[in-house]
Structures are given as C-alpha cells and as structure tokens.
A and B are shown apart, each in its own frame.
Chain A
Amino acid sequence: MSKPNPTDRRYTKEHEWAKDNGGGTVTMGITDHAQELLTDIVFVELPAMGKKITQMEQLAVVESVKSVSDVYAPVSGEVIEVNKVLEDHPELVNQDAFGEGWMVKLRMDNPAELDNLMDAAGYTEMIKEEKH
C-alpha cells in the first residue's frame, strides 16, 4: 500500500506533486503511488538549472530497471534547484517520494496554475478509480 498523500500539496493526473513553498516557488516530485508502480528506480535525469518550462511539459525522466518514464512540470516556471543527491541515490524516490526524493524546485510563472491541480483527496480518489 502506498503512503497517504499529504494534504499540504497539489497533484497532477500524471502522478507529480507540487508543494507551495511561499515566495512564488514550489518543490515537486513524483507521488508514492507512482514510485510504487515504477518499483526499482535506478536513474533520475534532472533538468538543467535555469531551464524554462511550461505546465505539463516534460521536466525530468525516471528509469526503473525495466522502464523509462517522463516526469512532467506541475506548473510553468524556471528551474531554480534540482535534487543532486538523486544522481547517486535514485532509490530515495522509492524510499521517500514525498520527502527526500523530491526532484526540482521551480519559480512559478503563474501561481494560479496550482489551482488546475488536484488536492490530496481528489488525487487519492483518482488512483482508487485507476485500480478498477
């Protein structure tokens, strides 16, 4: 069973989360449900600093032994920090997807975009339906 989805952040249909840090920036990563589907993550490709990205454009790549999956930007903005630790420890995404397994910090172009995303209850409901 995946961990509960924290209520302090928003969620995309593609299983990313975005947490508003205040000051116009967000931290993002993939959900615990997503890491569970991927299982053994062995590689995370992070974007370059300063990269400009539009909401739901491809931002990063995660690879398990078997598969390659795109990670999308939950909001439009600029990459201001990446979690370098993942380069040597991609397994952190499996172990702590909502915490130490975070991927990118973005400076948002338009904070109102967060409202396009689901809240924890909505996302939890969505993945429940996926299973049927």
Chain B
Amino acid sequence: MKKTPLYEHHLALGGKIIDFGGWAMPVQYTNVIEEHQTTRMKAGLFDICHMGEIEIKGPQAFDLLQWVLSRNIVEQAVGQIKLSVITNEHGGIIDDLTVYKFNRDHYMMVTNAGTKDKDLSWVAKQKEIKGFSDVQITDISDQTGKLDIQGPLSQMILQHITVDDLVPLRYYHTMNTRVMNFPAIVSRSGYTGEDGFEIYANSEKIACIWNTLLEIGADFGLKPVGLGARDTLRLEAGMMLYGNDMDETITPLDVVYGWVTDLEKDFVGSTALRKLKEGSLRRKLVGFEMEERGIARHGYKVFKEGREIGEVTSGTFTPTLQKAVGLAFVPISYSEPGTEIFVQIRNHHARARVVGLPFYKRKKQQ
C-alpha cells in the first residue's frame, strides 16, 4: 500500500489504518460519530494527500479542458474552481473532479486517488487525438501534499498560519498564499457540507502544517478526522463518491451531475449523452431515508411491490440526523420525493422513502 507523508503521524494518533484504493489511510482515530460531530460543530483536519493533482499548462490548456470536461468552463474566472466530470465516448463517468484556474494558461485538476493514473492517460490521449500540441500535462501528485480543514471554526484556525486574509475568499474560489510561510494554494471548498478549506503545499512541508494546525486548533476543538467520518459527512451533504455511486457504466445524466454537464458544447461523450437525453433516461440516483429499522448499505437491492427495481449505492447511519439514509438507483418513475420504496436488508424488505438532496444543509452564517 502507498503511504502519505502523514502515515506515521496517523499511527501515533491512534489511527486505524485501512486500504483505500491502494493507499494506507486512517479510517478513524477515535470513532466515526465523534469525528463527524467535531467537524459539524467545530473543525476537523483530514489527510487528503492521496488524491491526485494534475497540472494543465500552456496556451491550449483551455481547449484541452473544454474538450475533456463535461462542464463549460468559458465563464470560469481566474481564481475560481469548477466541479466537473470527465466522460468516455459513451458518456460514462471516468472521474469526478475539481478544476482550479490560476491564470489563462494554467489549471489544476484534483482527481480521486484511485482514478488519477487513468485520468492522466485519458487526458494525454485526448490531447493527442485533438492535436493540441501547445499544452503540457504534468502529474504533480507526489510533490503535492493536501490537507482539508472543515467545519465552522476552520477559518479562525487556518488564519493563524496563513499570511493572506481568508475572509474575502469566496466559496469555490482559490488563492495562492503562504501557509506557515510555505507557498500554498488555499481554496474555500471541501467534501463535508461545512465551511472549510483545502490546502495544497509541498508534500515535504505537509507534516509540519498538519502538526501546527492540530496544535493551534486544539484550543478550538480541532481534531484529526478519518475517512469513515469523511464518508458520513459527504453522504449527509448529498455528495457522491466515485467508485461507490458512479463508475464508467454511469453517465452524469443518471446521477446528480446533470448540472455540471453542458450538452450545448462539444466534448468527449457529448454526442452519446445528447442521444441519451433525447431518448428516455431510464434510471436516476435518488436520496432515500429509512422508515423502518435497519441500515441500507452499498449493493443492497431496492424493491417496489415485490419487484426488484434498483440498488443502493451508498448507505449509512448519519450522526447528525440520527437516521439511516442512502443513495440508490431507481427507475425515473419511482424517483419523485415521497415515493415509497423498500430496501432488502438481509431477509427483510424494509420501508424507505425517496427524499430530496441534500439530507443535511448547514445554516448560513451571518
């Protein structure tokens, strides 16, 4: 298994290590519920060094990205981040990722950990196919360390070691700054549904930043948070997980990624997706809440009137809402909020109800 620069720190903090897409990552330090609540109420610190960073640079960076991304990035401003997917020729999702724009000719794609190599060769292949010679694609994952600090007190804690004022930094925007005097990229974004930041710095400096944040943050209640709570936090916030809720057999129109897919522009997969949209979409990823006791899990079957109609892609007991919720694929005709569905939990068909997403939305500050 691959290790992040923080592996030894996780062990020292009592982290329970699991294999996550080939990476030795902490699933929890104390327990998932506690770490989840800490993030919602105060702040949590996450080691995200396993995720991939791919730099796209050069006069044709925009052209290449506009071709591989489902999202139209014409209006993406310098300093702005866009969530997008990259699809294959059939419209299947190769990955979901965020795209940072640093200047007209300089972007960074932040990919999932297990999909980075695949993304890299896919984008390189598209560059070749389209003959975009004036753009460089560089895998900067190894030299780039990444930490997420998430939760209502994140800004107060991070500000202590960040040279620039964080207040003007808007949601889904990024800036080049210095953290502990090391050059760093800081964006107001994340995967928890809380206010928070993603911090990118040289991987050799990341342990130093990690330790200092935990030290300064201790007074504010900051704690390290593992992948277990990362999963419950993202699910409550109605966010999907690649490999769980989608893969290359799923299109962005099947899941809640229609809004990041611009069928007015041409990109890899746009022809296939337009056809799909003209025909009838068969299934849709929906949120549901369990009404009977039991917790739905990934892979459990969904039933309606005794007939199998779909499958659960994510499911858990959510610490904030104190109930079992999940995401499932169902036929369009059963996708309306309020629809009664049944999830097979072991030998029992337990009643559940389709609900709108997200399950949890933080109250607006100010």
Contacts and interface: CB of A to CB of B under 8 A. Distances in A.
Interface of A: 39-40, 42-43, 45, 61, 63-66, 68, 87
B229 to A, nearest CB: 8
B294 A45 contact: yes
Given A65-B228, A65-B317, A40 B31 contact: yes
16 contacts: A39-B30, A39-B32, A40-B32, A40-B34, A42-B33, A43-B293, A43-B294, A45-B294, A45-B346, A61-B346, A65-B31, A65-B32, A65-B228, A66-B27, A68-B295, A68-B297
A63 B32 contact: no
A66 B228 contact: yes
Nearest to A88: B293
Contacts of B231: 66
Contacts of B34: 40
B319 interface: yes
B295 A43 contact: yes
B316 interface: yes
B61 to A, nearest CB: 40
Contacts of B232: 65
Nearest to A87: B293
Contacts of A43: 293-295, 317, 324
Interface string B12-37: 00000000000000011011111010
With a 10 A CB-CB cut-off, give which of A61, A66, A87 has the most chain B CB atoms: A66
Nearest to A63: B295
A39 B31 contact: yes
A36 to B, nearest CB: 10
B319 A65 contact: yes
Contact of B28 (A39, A45, A63): A39
Nearest to B30: A39
Given A43-B293, A45-B294, A45-B346, A63 B317 contact: yes
A45 B319 CA distance: 19
Interface in B259-313: 293-295, 297
With a 10 A CB-CB cut-off, give which of A43, A63, A65, A68 has the most chain B CB atoms: A65
Contacts of B294: 43, 45
